[in-house]
Every structure is written in structure tokens, then in C-alpha cells.
Amino acid sequence: MLALLFGAMAIACTDDPDTPPAQDPNDEVVVFEDELLEGFIKSDLNIGSNDDITVGRLANLTELNVANTQVSSIAGLEKATNLEVLNLNFTNVTDMSPIQDLTGLKELNLWNLDLEGEGAAILDFVQNLNELEFLDLRETPTSDISRLAGKSNLKHLNLREANVSDLSPLSGMTQFEYLNFNRCGNITDISPLDGMVNLYYLSLRNAEVGDEQFKQFSQYTKLVESNIRNTGITDITPLVAIFEAGAFTQELSDLYGNKISLDLQNNNITNPCLIAQWVDQFPQGELEGWDGAACGDAVEASFFEDAGLEGRVREILGLGDDDEITEELLLTVEELDLRGTTTSNVAGVEKMPNLTFVRLDGTEVSDLTPFSEHTKITYFNINTVTGITDISPLGNNADLGTLIARNIQFGNEGMETIAKFKKLWRLNMRNTGVTDLSVLADLMEEGALQNDMAPEGTAILDIREIEADFCVIAAFRDEIGDLSGGDFSSCD
């Protein structure tokens, strides 16, 4: 009986109505040091001025903009675990430690903040913020960005008028789309930006770039806006490649929502006319520092659509960028070797009717139509220019002796053009999709591709990597001094 009595008393004690229940963590009241900040958060979350901000309520806060206010402390925000966007531009905040564990943060605006700390420690708060995509540190005391190394989601970084000189922590971060180093420290090495082919915005104003480093620009084919003012460049050849690839176009402007703009001011540019054909892409006032006064006539008189082709022709003729190319001068051109250029369009070669030697291997040409009226070409090389499939424009060159067309998929249709080359002595048609060699048999019957036709007594023929009946030319193979390919094992 006593045991039952004491048991009942024990149960009664544990059910004491005065014992408070365990508190729900979501009901915890969040304390903010800064009343202004607390007020902005209450407004954003529709919480009454006399009501508390609890952890549960704060979980609904995903964006907070208190820019251009007198907010001086963000203590309490450490509880805003779902915060993704924070704008503190032009506030009085100096201590960013409260947000250092908000790992969901994607956008952080800290323009003109006097961030506390020295050197790399200034950015200690970003070490765990690996989802960060957008970081604005304009006009902050930031001098060391080593804490940003390896942040693979970071695409937008603004360090305008900060104090950073070493960009090496950004090496390999090829995901960047926006980088602003306008008047930022004393930058002398931009090699860490190599490979950042996704950039649509790049500002390097006042950086010591120079012509050698500026060659790196040829890879930034998605640029819409760039400020390279006062960077020590004199040669803007790298811009030609990106203009040809479609940079600074309305299409890219629409894609990225960024104006088209290029600032070349305070550089002693020696070849401004190289980009003359693209200046109309820029809205009024958005191409600064380009002096095209001497380019007007040259632009109108230009015979070429491709800057790479024009540049090589100028080299051949010994002309400067500002010198006029005349039709009379083009008549003197007999050899055209475009290897090592970015040429993709040969429009204009029709003005050089005396061409006898042409090399397009290594280019990106796809259309040979401009050669349709040529009649004097004896050597033509399009080795592995895989965009070409139609060789019929060469058909009027009856004296063609050498045709190098390896990997050009002209097929049996192309053989109809080759049938016209009665003086052919060297032919590379490896991997061309040809299945019928009867045209070669007919040519050989007339003496083409035979040793007697070759200048030095050795005919050259490469028929590797094609599937055809090789027996149709078996009778002529002994008179081909250098024959590669062809299975003649079944021939009588």
C-alpha cells in the first residue's frame, strides 16, 4: 500500500502544472543590436512594430535590402538561415561576422563599406559562403582576395576602386561572367584571367596590361562591355578575333542584359582601323577613345569582309593599316598563304585574279565561291578545312597541278570537278567520302597523276581512308611514284 501511495505521489509531482513545457526553437526571440535593421526586417515580414521577430518568422526572410541607410550592425542576422540576397551598400556596417555561416547566401552587396580587419582577414566571413554567385566589394578596403579562391559558383565580382593587386587567387575560376577591376590597386598581371571565356563584362581600367598581355583578349568572345582605358596597349589586333566571333553585338547584349560599350581612352593605339568595320555596333557615346578619322575612306573602299584576310593581304603588299588597298595593287598578288590567320571568309579574293598559289589550311573557311572566276591557280591546299564540302568553284583552273584536300568531304560529286584538272600530278584525297575512282582512271589515261606529268618525275597520290574499287586504277599504279593507300590485292 505504501509503495502504491509513493508511486502516485511521484506521478503527481511529474504532472505538476507549474513545470514549463520545452520551448519550440522556432519561438526563440531574435535580438537585433540595430533598431533600424530590426524595423526593416519587421516591415519586410509584415510583423507588427510591437511584436517579436522569432526564429520561425525570420526563416521566411530570403532577401534584405537596407542600402543607403544608417544601419550599423547586422548582429541577429545569423539566425536568418534562409537568406539568399543581402544588400548593405552605403551603410555603416563594418563587422560581417554575423553572416559567416549563412551558407545559402548567393548575392552580397557591400559597396562602400569600411570592412574591419586587415589583409586576407577582411574577407574571412566569406570562407563558408560557397553558394555565393554575386559579390560587390566596390570601394572597400579589400586588398587580398585569397579567401575567394575555389568558389566555383562565383560569377560576378566587382572590385572597382578596391585595393587589390594580386589576381592569382582567381586562377582557374573559368565560370566568371563579370569582373570589374576598374582602378583597383596596382594590377600588373592578368594571366590569372586566362581561360575565362564566359566573360561578358571585363573592366581593367588603369591596370598595366600592355600589348603582350592584351593578346589574351582574343579568347573573350562573349564580351558586351569592356573598359581597357589607360592600360598601356598600342595594338588592338586581339579585338579583331572577338569581333569576328560575335562580341559586342545586340544579341549578346540582350542575352546578358548589359549595354554594348568599349572604352579605349588614354592608350596610344597605332592601328585603330582594324576594327573600323564594327564601330557601328556601338550606340552613340559607347565607343570611347577610338579615333577613326583616317579610316573612313579605307572602310568604304575595303574589298574584304574578313579582317584576317585583309591583314594578310596588307602584309603581302607591304601596306600599313591606314594605307589604301587598290585594285591595281591586288592585281600584283600571285601567292596567298592564309595559314596562321583567323580567316573564315575569303570574299574579296576575286579581286586577285592572278593568283597561282593558295593555302587555306589552318583557317576556318567554308565557302570557296569567291574563287569561281579564277583560272590561273596551279596549287591549292585546303587540308582539313572541314567546313568545306563543295570544291566546284575551283573548276576553271585547268592548269591545277596540286590539290591537297585531305578530310574534305566532297564525295563523288566533287570528282566531277577533279575531272577537269588534266594537268594534275599531286592529289591528296584521303578521307574525302569518295567511292568511285573512275574519274581518276580517266585522268590517268590522259597522263594526269603519272610520273611523266610531275615536274620532278614523281606523281603523288593519297587515297587512304576511302572505300572504293581500286582496281580501276591498278593499271596505272606503277607510274605513280608516291602512292599512299589503295587495296589492289584482288586486282588481276
DSSP codes joined into one string, 263-312: E-TT---S-GGGGGGGGGGSPTT-EES---TTTHHHHHH---S-HHHHHH
**Length of the chain (residues):** 492
pLDDT at residue 2, rounded to an integer: 41
Query: How would you label 69-82 residue by residue, b for 16+ Cβ within 10 Å and e otherwise?
Result: bebebbbbbebbee
Query: Whole-angstrom Cα distance, residue 461 to residue 473?
Result: 11
Question: Three-class SS of residue 3?
Answer: helix
**What are the phi and psi torsion angles at 125 (to 5°)?**
-65, -15
**Cα 382-384-388 angle, rounded to 5 deg:** 65
Query: Whole-angstrom Cα distance, residue 460 to residue 42?
Result: 85
Superfamily of 305-484 according to CATH: Ribonuclease Inhibitor (3.80.10.10)
**Do the domains 25-298 and 305-484 sit in the same CATH topology, yes or no?**
yes
pLDDT at residue 19, rounded to an integer: 61
Q: Provide the H-helix boundaries in 55-180.
A: 55-58
Query: Whole-angstrom Cα distance, residue 52 to residue 46?
Result: 11
What order do you get walking across the sheet with 460-462 strand by strand?
335-337, 357-359, 379-381, 402-404, 426-428, 460-462, 482-484
pLDDT at residue 411, rounded to an integer: 95
Query: Whole-angstrom Cα distance, residue 358 to residue 381?
Result: 6
The CATH number of the structural domain formed by 25-298 is: 3.80.10.10
Going by C-alpha positions, the residue among 232, 228, 242, 191 that lies closest to residue 211 is 232
pLDDT in tens, 351-361: 999 999 999 99
- How far the first Cα of the chain sits from its last, in Å, is 121
Q: What is the pTM of this model?
A: 0.60
Report CA-CA distances (Å) from 288 to 168, 181, 224: 29, 18, 14
Q: Rounded mean pLDDT of 252-260?
A: 97
Q: How remote is the C-alpha of 96 from its chain's centroid? A: 34
Q: Return the top range by mean pLDDT from 2-6, 326-330, 411-415.
A: 411-415
Query: How would you label 458-487 residue by residue, b for 16+ Cβ within 10 Å and e otherwise?
Result: ebbbbbeebebebbbbeebeebbeebeebe
pLDDT in tens, 314-359: 999 999 988 888 888 899 999 999 998 889 999 999 999 999 999 9
Reported as a pLDDT band with limits 50, 70 and 90, residue 10 is very low
Q: Do residues 223 and 200 lie in contact, with contact meaning Cβ atoms separated by under 8 Å?
A: yes
Show the cell assigned to 259: 549595354
pLDDT at residue 17, rounded to an integer: 57
3-state helix, strand, coil in the chain (%, to 5): 30, 10, 60
Mean pLDDT of the chain: 92
pLDDT in tens, 138-190: 999 999 999 999 999 999 999 999 999 999 999 999 999 999 999 998 999 99
Going by C-alpha positions, the residue among 224, 230, 200 that lies closest to residue 214 is 230
Report CA-CA distances (Å) from 155 to 72, 128, 152, 175, 273: 28, 17, 8, 6, 34
Query: Whole-angstrom Cα distance, residue 15 to residue 321?
Result: 95
Domain ranges within the chain, ordered by starting residue: 25-298, 305-484
Share of the chain above pLDDT 90, in %: 86
